[in-house]
Chain A
Amino acid sequence: MSKQEKHWEKTRGLLFVTLAIWFVFSIGIFLFGAEMEASSFKPLGYPLSYYMTCQGSLGIFVILIFWFANRQEKIDDEFGYTEREDD
């Protein structure tokens, strides 16, 4: 397998992990809206369903993108595909 193929395989792996996390917090948990509301776990005192829609999921997306960007940069570095400043 060529260097480029390996790089793409790792990139694809990272994509799947990222999309899996994304799926859980954008779609998965909202299948259980009623259960979340009944939950006794109340972040900052808000009902869980309310909290996730107005802060929780949104904040997780922000962190997820930065985490993804860091991981992708590591993968690019590993294969020597880092951009040079003068590109």
Chain B
Amino acid sequence: MTKMIKGKFIDNLPKVYGIYTGGFLVFIILMAIAEQAGMSAKLIGIFFVAFTVSIYAIIGYLSRTLQLDAYYVAGRQVPTVFNGMATAADWMSGASFVAMAGGIYFKGYGYMALLVGWTGGYVLVASLLAPYLRKFGCYTVPDFIGTRYGGNLARVSAVLVLTVASFTYVTAQINATGTIASVALDIPFGIAVYVGLASILLCSMLGGMRAVTWTQVAQYIVLIIAYLLPVFWISNKMGAGFFPHFMLADEVARIAELESQFGLGTVKNSAADLATVPKGLAGITKAHSEVNTTPWKFISLAVCMMAGTASLPHVMMRYFTTPSVRTARRSVGWSLFFIFLLYSSAPMLATLSKLSLMDPNLTTGIIGKSITEVQNIDWYQNWNQANLMFVSDFNGNGTLELNEFFMGGKAVVLATPEIAGLPYVISGLVAAGGMAAAMSTADGLVLAIANALSHDLYYKIIDPKAETAKRLIVARILLVIIGFAGATIAALEIQGILGSVIWAFDFAMSGLFFPLVLGVWWKRANAQGAVAGMLIGLAVGTWYLIHVRTGGTPIWGVTQLTFGIHGALASLISMIVVSLATKAPDAATQRMVDEVRIPSGRTVLGKQH
């Protein structure tokens, strides 16, 4: 019975999600009408978040399952394009959605290394790993490491690296869900974090990977509409161009002109003045389109993000869900295409946002206006209250100068629609989009950790005789525990969202990149080498992070954002040295690697294992 419905559901995917998208657009229009009829901004925000989250929860409930391969790998029947969308949602986190445009806005070229890094990594995923791991037929990433190299030590080491990297990442995502839920639903952050967690667990608990897959597709549709609609709308409203991505060259040039007119870089704020600016807000100090970083700084950050992409288990495990090796490969291309749609829009949003604020010829421009006038603008007051915007008349001339305006990074995405004079319904939509982005990534991460612990630690090592029902119960209990642990740490607000996301990439790269890649591409790699690679890589990476954080001198200009360079290098060297110093893998393992390299035939691990 379920089999039949499932089959039907898979065949009807375009129709199902087509209706869903249409329904969502109708909902936006209804909200717009309600706004005209006088519905309050607060109520619109609540409606947007509540409506979308309940849809995800319904999808999560409908996808419930009692089967292992459905729970762990969505039954391996997710079609290419839909897996691409799910991966894109899995991948694009609160950081991509809420923080990235802000980073580009403030840091310019140097920061855009993240755009290159977070997309270029997919070339590595497609060519080095995804198709081979799909052929392997594993449930989790440590499952591959444990079987390819053999031995519990290798498996446990992989679980360790996975947990460190994914947990660092997930706290940031739960933090982001909490931030958005607290703003949209108007509840304290400490409570909002748990509201966010409840929504995340609703999507994943009953159906595991299958539920996460189908909610992620739904979340992608919401987040991409929420990101692109404002960009196109603002661009058209401003008269900047019908299709912003191809038509903003004049605006980019205009910003450069205004920057020099307003004395960017020549007028500096004194330390005493800067001390009055609320924490977390920044002024525009870097040129918008000029090259403002050394090549090594740019390249090292890009390299870390690329290698990290290819080692993050929650991304890799999405490619275990496709029907075949061939579709896994193509699905990587679709993933990147769907990511590209958002990433190529982020710089456009940053450009439009900056120009709206800077250009005195636009009605929205505030630089050059009198301070009191700016302080009386509605949106300024709102965002100032939310601690995301600040102006101060440092030089006492009564006029707002470029160096006297400060903003939080999140405000670029969250506040720009309001600044540019779009109706509030768009801000509600953006909140729903941010929520979708953070939730979808958190879901993937929590599931990656819980699956590794339940499958690799509990089933493979602690209780190999456990029955299916028991395994699935353990998996769900772990899911809830991991979720709560993540939320508790998120509620402490130790680090910013973006910083911890970048760290997660560095951790993953330090411990997993070379053990994964060499597992496929170097037959001579053995268990001892892999264990050394994972543990020494993770240890050196962590040591270097602490070293830099505690004021140590950087080695080779590697910062706390790129510590994966040292971690991965240590991992590579130790893996090669230890592998060559110990015995070559046995004939059975060598045959297994040969088997993995051929797309056709059975998977190395059975359908249910």
Residues of A within 8 A of B (CB): 4, 7-8, 11, 14-15, 18-19, 22, 25-27, 30-34, 36-37, 42, 44-47, 49-50, 53-55, 57-59, 61-62, 64-66, 68-69, 72-73, 76, 80-84, 87
Q: Which of B265-302 contact A (CB under 8 A)?
A: 289-291, 293, 295, 298-299, 302
* Alpha-carbon distance between A65 and B115 when the two chains are bound, in angstroms: 17
Whether A50 touches B109, Cβ cut-off 8 Å, given contacts A4-B594, A22-B124, A69-B333, is yes
- Whether a CB of chain A sits under 8 angstroms from the CB of B119 is yes
Q: Are B599 and A25 in contact (CB under 8 A)?
A: no
* Alpha-carbon distance between A29 and B127 when the two chains are bound, in angstroms: 21
Q: Are B249 and A33 in contact (CB under 8 A)?
A: no
* Alpha-carbon distance between A18 and B123 when the two chains are bound, in angstroms: 8
Q: List 6 A-B contacts (CB under 8 A).
A: A46-B249, A57-B116, A61-B122, A65-B332, A68-B329, A83-B600
Q: Are B344 and A59 in contact (CB under 8 A)?
A: yes
Q: Which residues of A contact B247 (CB under 8 A)?
A: 44
Q: Are A49 and B123 in contact (CB under 8 A)?
A: no
* Alpha-carbon distance between A66 and B123 when the two chains are bound, in angstroms: 10
Q: Are B112 and A53 in contact (CB under 8 A)?
A: yes
Q: Which residues of A contact B291 (CB under 8 A)?
A: 33-34, 36-37, 49
Q: Which of B215-223, B335-343, B542-550 contacts A (4 or more CB under 8 A)?
A: B335-343
Shortest CB-to-CB span from B449 to chain A, Å, is: 28
Shortest CB-to-CB span from A27 to chain B, Å, is: 5
Size class of the contact patch on chain B: 35 or more
For the complex, would chain B's binding face be called helix, strand, loop or mixed by DSSP majority? helix
Q: Are A68 and B126 in contact (CB under 8 A)?
A: yes
Shortest CB-to-CB span from A37 to chain B, Å, is: 5
- Whether a CB of chain A sits under 8 angstroms from the CB of B70 is no
* Alpha-carbon distance between A85 and B489 when the two chains are bound, in angstroms: 46
Q: Which residues of A contact B248 (CB under 8 A)?
A: 46
Q: Which residues of B contact A76 (CB under 8 A)?
A: 326, 599-600
Q: Which residues of A contact B246 (CB under 8 A)?
A: 44
Q: Which residues of B contact A81 (CB under 8 A)?
A: 598-600
Query: B242-254 vs A: 1/0 string, CB under 8 Å?
Result: 0001111110110
Q: Which residues of A contact B117 (CB under 8 A)?
A: 26
16 more CB-based (< 8 A) A-B contacts, given A26-B117, A44-B247, A57-B116: A25-B120, A26-B120, A30-B298, A30-B299, A31-B295, A37-B291, A47-B290, A53-B347, A54-B115, A54-B346, A59-B344, A61-B123, A65-B126, A69-B126, A72-B329, A83-B600
Shortest CB-to-CB span from A48 to chain B, Å, is: 10
- Whether a CB of chain A sits under 8 angstroms from the CB of B601 is yes
Q: Are B302 and A54 in contact (CB under 8 A)?
A: no
Q: Are B122 and A7 in contact (CB under 8 A)?
A: no
Shortest CB-to-CB span from B295 to chain A, Å, is: 5
